[in-house]
């Protein structure tokens, strides 16, 4: 492993988590990220169950994640007059530990930046596999050759597109979009609130962002790097909405952070092709499915561990990695958070709200989520050399 050079595309969660383990197993790691810097803020992410906790503990960050946790908060489900109709308990959305995505990304970066090379503001433009490696060209940097390339660049993975084929072949749109906005109008609050109309949802002060939106839609054409265009799309989607929605939408123009994307699911038969492999949402993403971050850190641990166990033999390691993760990641191949967060009819909204008043049903759902999160037996991989 000591002579293995690895390029990782993506510096959010899966990329730095993988960099952490690969470097400790003796690899020389470069992480390339299209954004000019780490992206702060964003939605809260959560961990649950012994598998997640074991990986965080083995990384030596469990205590720090707990220290930075945001804590799961109850959410009032309200009507157009602001009256509470039901309450979503914090345990339902926050898992055992909830932390800001930006805080988690910063923590992983802090643990790896001194030992791994990070290149921000650049992106891969081509991948050409040779007998001894992968020749990589970049938008800005000079071409380089690496032993292995990893796509840890999310559900819209550039590496997957270059190595496997067009996104349309592997990503299924699930009929909804979501948006996150840090808006001053939201302000601090004691409790989170969620308001629904058929096919539309707005949440304030929630565990996703200051303002969190989900709406049903046909596929939309827009520039993923143009937030102003995205804000206009969102405003059109919420025309005529009641409650405080007009004021919230008006406040988007001053949002310090804004992000819009589709609710989609990755459907791919294999996680690797030659010397290129996918991890995290690039391989098994399901937007807002509630398991993405846990899958990312567990997947990174298993991928690096299998490479170490195989002595750097990527064919053997990639096969074993897929065998380990395929069953565990099956939860990401099911479900669609869109109709749950933004039910299509008023009757469905009422049914969803009533569910949270039935303690036995809620307890069963929480138990099922915990069972999925714990559905993997983590191997004891060769101990990384002392550093």
The pLDDT score that the predictor gives to residue 69 is 85
Give the pLDDT confidence of 277-302 residue by residue, as tens digits: 999 999 999 998 777 899 999 999 99
Q: Give the pLDDT confidence score for residue 187 in this predicted structure.
A: 47
Do the Cβ atoms of 80 and 195 come closer than 8 Å?
A: yes
> Rounded mean pLDDT of 266-282?
96
Task: Give the number of other CB atoms < 10 A from CB of residue 213.
Answer: 25
* pLDDT for position 301: 96
Query: In the predicted model, what is the mean pLDDT of residues 142-161?
Result: 97
Continuous H helices in the chain: 14-24, 49-58, 62-68, 90-94, 101-112, 158-163, 227-237, 245-250, 281-284, 292-309, 314-328, 337-341, 346-355, 359-373
Contact (Cβ atoms closer than 8 angstroms) between residue 271 and residue 277: yes
pLDDT tens for 108-122 read 999 999 999 999 999
Burial 261-276 (b: 16+ CB within 10 A, else e): bbbbbbebeebbeebb
Which percentage of the chain shows pLDDT scores above 70? 89
Strand partners, 173: 264
* Residue 54 three-state SS: helix
The CA distance from 344 to 291, in Å, is 24
Average pLDDT of the residues in 265-277? 96
pLDDT at 330: 80
Residue 7: which of 129, 145, 192 has the closest Cα?
Answer: 145
Q: What is the pLDDT confidence band of residue 270, given thresholds at 50, 70 and 90? A: very high
Q: Which residues touch 84 (CB under 8 Å, ≥6 apart)?
A: 76, 77, 78
> What whole-number distance in Å separates Cα of residue 279 and Cα of residue 284?
8
Pairing type for strands 117-120 and 28-33 reads: parallel
Longest Cα–Cα distance in the chain: 66
Cβ atoms < 10 Å from Cβ of 315 = 11
pLDDT value of position 79 = 96
Residue with more model confidence, 376 or 80: 80
Range of weakest confidence among 104-113, 359-368, 378-387: 359-368
Closest to 93 (Cα-Cα) out of 258, 262, 206: 206
Which among 289, 313, 361 is positioned nearest to 86, based on CA atoms? 361
Closest CA to 204 of 86, 73, 32, 356: 73
Give tens-digit pLDDT for 29-78.
999 999 999 987 777 888 988 899 999 999 999 999 999 887 667 889 99
Closest CA to 158 of 174, 175, 139: 139
Higher pLDDT, 386 or 299: 299
pLDDT tens readout for residues 212-256? 999 999 999 999 889 999 999 999 999 999 999 999 999 998 888
- Output the pLDDT for position 5: 97
* 386, pLDDT greater than 90: no
Please give the residue that has the higher pLDDT: either 334 or 173: 173
pLDDT tens string 184-216: 644 445 578 999 999 999 999 765 558 999 999
Average pLDDT, the chain: 89
In this structure, of 144-153, 162-171, 370-379, the range with the lowest mean pLDDT score is 370-379
Evaluate whether 58 touches 378 at the Cβ level (below 8 Å). Answer: no
102 pLDDT above the threshold of 80? yes
The percentage of residues in the chain with a pLDDT greater than 90, rounded to a whole number, is 70
Is pLDDT above 90 for 82?
yes
pLDDT of residue 45: 87
The distance from CA 221 to its chain's CA centroid, rounded to whole angstroms, is 22
Q: Is the pLDDT of residue 373 over 90?
A: no
């Amino acid at each position: 492993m000591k002579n293995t050079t690895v390029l990782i595309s993506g510096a959010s969660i899966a990329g730095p988590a993988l960099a952490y383990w690969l470097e400790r197993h003796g690899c020389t790691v470069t992480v390339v990220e299209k954004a000019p810097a780490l992206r702060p803020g964003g939605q809260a992410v959560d961990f649950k169950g012994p598998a997640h906790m074991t990986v965080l503990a083995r990384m030596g960050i469990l205590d720090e994640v707990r220290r930075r946790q945001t804590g799961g908060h109850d959410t009032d489900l309200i009507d157009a007059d602001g009256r509470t109709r039901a309450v979503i308990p914090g345990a339902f959305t926050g898992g055992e530990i909830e932390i800001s995505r930006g805080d988690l990304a910063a923590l992983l970066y802090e643990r790896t930046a001194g030992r791994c090379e990070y290149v921000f503001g650049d992106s891969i433009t081509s991948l050409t596999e040779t007998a001894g490696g992968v020749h990589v060209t970049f938008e800005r940097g000079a071409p380089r050759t690496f032993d292995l390339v990893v796509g840890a660049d999310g559900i819209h993975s550039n590496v997957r597109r270059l190595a496997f084929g067009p996104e349309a072949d592997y990503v299924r749109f699930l009929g909804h979009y979501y948006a996150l906005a840090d808006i001053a109008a939201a302000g601090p609050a004691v409790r989170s609130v969620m308001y629904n109309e058929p096919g539309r949802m707005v949440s304030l002060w929630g565990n996703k962002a200051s303002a969190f939106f989900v709406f049903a839609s046909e596929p939309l054409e827009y520039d993923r790097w143009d937030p102003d265009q995205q804000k206009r799309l969102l405003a059109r989607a919420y025309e005529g909405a009641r409650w405080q929605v007009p004021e919230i939408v008006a406040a988007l123009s001053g949002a310090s952070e804004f992000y819009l994307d589709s609710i989609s699911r990755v459907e791919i038969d294999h996680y690797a092709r030659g010397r290129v492999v996918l991890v995290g949402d690039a391989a098994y993403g399901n937007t807002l499915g509630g398991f993405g971050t846990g899958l990312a850190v567990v997947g990174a641990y298993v991928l690096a561990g299998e490479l170490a166990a195989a002595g750097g033999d990527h064919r053997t390691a990639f096969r074993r990695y897929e065998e380990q993760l395929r069953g565990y990641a099956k939860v990401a191949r099911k479900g669609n958070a869109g109709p749950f967060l933004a039910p299509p009819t008023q009757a469905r909204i009422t049914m969803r709200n009533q569910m949270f008043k039935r303690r036995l049903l809620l307890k069963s759902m929480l138990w099922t989520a915990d069972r999925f999160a714990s559905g993997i037996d983590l191997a004891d991989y060769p101990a990384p050399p002392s550093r």
